[in-house]
């Protein structure tokens, strides 16, 4: 198993609802090492660039509005098979379809306000980590 890194975001709904501690704690229990962590109010430009692959989707504008509504927590997490393990821990995109015990099931409100983001592949993780963190911060 290879050690990987993934970009994690605790989204505005979960920050507003007071779930930062529970979510970070769960990641540590799951064996992730926190390489970098920062709280930030995203600008529209930063959120639009981050979600550029979804630009043509009907929910793009609503998604950017949601992600810039209040602060998010940005993290770089590391462990063996980080990307696939993280996706298992957070669950399906739609909290209503996520398995019991997953973070989206526990803290997500709906398919948009689904509590957390996670990279879906190694190339995406590299882009997403570089979008938010400098080389020095993740060294």
Binding site for ligand GDP (CB under 6 A): 59, 62-63, 93, 111-112, 114, 117, 120
Q: How far is the CB of 17 from ligand GDP (least distance, A)?
A: 15
Instruction: Give the end-to-end CA distance of the chain in Å, rounded to a whole number.
Output: 21
Q: Are 36 and 133 in contact (CB under 8 A)?
A: yes
Q: Which residues are catalytic?
A: 117
Q: How far is the CB of 93 from ligand GDP (least distance, A)?
A: 3
Q: Which is nearer to ligand GDP, 68 or 114 (CB)?
A: 114
Q: How far is the CB of 49 from ligand GDP (least distance, A)?
A: 14
Give the integer Cα–Cα distance in Å for 90 and 82: 12
Q: Which is nearer to ligand GDP, 41 or 93 (CB)?
A: 93
Q: Which is nearer to ligand GDP, 20 or 111 (CB)?
A: 111
Residue 8, both tokens: 């994690």
Sequence-separated (6 or more) residues with CB below 8 Å from residue 5: 35, 76, 77, 78, 82, 125, 129, 138
């Amino acid at each position: 198993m290879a050690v990987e890194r993934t970009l994690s975001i605790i989204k505005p709904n979960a920050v507003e609802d007071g779930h930062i501690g529970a979510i970070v704690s769960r990641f540590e229990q799951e064996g992730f090492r926190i390489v970098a962590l920062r709280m930030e109010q995203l600008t529209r430009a930063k959120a639009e660039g981050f979600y550029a692959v979804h630009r043509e989707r009907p929910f793009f504008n609503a998604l950017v509005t949601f992600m810039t509504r209040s602060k998010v927590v940005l993290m770089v997490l590391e462990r063996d098979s980080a990307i696939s393990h993280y996706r298992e821990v957070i669950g399906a995109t739609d909290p209503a379809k996520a398995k019991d015990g997953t973070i989206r099931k526990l803290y997500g409100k709906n398919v948009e306000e689904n509590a957390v983001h996670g990279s879906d592949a190694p190339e995406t993780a590299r882009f997403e980590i570089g979008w938010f963190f400098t080389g020095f911060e993740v060294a």
